[in-house]
Amino acid sequence: MTTTKALLFGRGRERAVGLVVGFTVAVGVVAAATLVASAVDHRTVAILSARTLPVVMVYAPAPIAAVGAYARCGGPACLAVGVVPVVVLGTLLAVASALGVPGVDGGAWIADLMGSFLAGSVASAFVGFCAGVTAALVADLVGVGSDE
């Protein structure tokens, strides 16, 4: 498989699925911890999770997508890393709203919040994907990486 095709479409499905599922689990744990901390109203945990959630939602997709691109997981998997945080957080907020968790109402602000996070996390994943592709091409050019 040529380097370009491997970078754009991926080489191994197992690697790509592992990348997306692993990141989904990590985001789910952080988002659930944030909701639990908000419901329990424990100040220290709430402050830590309030600082951790934006990092996972907006900044983490870039390095994850860069590693995925360098490992030749493919563009769709790397960009899915940008969509994962929004889907996970939106699902958790919808479930929390349906269960009546204090502080989580089902207002229209959830759609605005999800749209903002989606734009940020997909842009972050795209930048990371471009960086990973560049790193892989440079490594192949220098002879450090291998196409096979």
Question: Given CA atoms 29, 34, 39, 44 in this order, what sign does their dihedral have?
Answer: positive
| Residue 66 confidence (pLDDT) | 94
CA neighbor of 28 nearest in space, from 38, 39, 20, 17: 20
| Residue 61 confidence (pLDDT) | 93
CB 9 within 8 A of CB 69: no
pLDDT in tens, the chain (148 residues): 566 667 777 777 888 888 899 999 998 888 888 777 777 767 766 776 778 878 888 889 999 999 999 888 888 999 999 999 889 888 888 887 788 776 667 667 777 878 888 898 999 999 999 999 999 888 888 877 655 5
Please name the residues in contact with 130: beta carbons below 8 A apart, sequence gap of 6 or more: 69
| Residue 145 confidence (pLDDT) | 63
In the chain, DSSP finds a helix count (H) and a strand count (E) of: 6, 0
> pTM to 2 decimals?
0.82
Domain ranges of the chain: 11-142
How far is residue 132's CA from residue 2's CA, in Å, rounded to a whole number? 16
| Residue 103 confidence (pLDDT) | 66
How far is residue 24's CA from residue 20's CA, in Å, rounded to a whole number? 6
| Residue 123 confidence (pLDDT) | 94
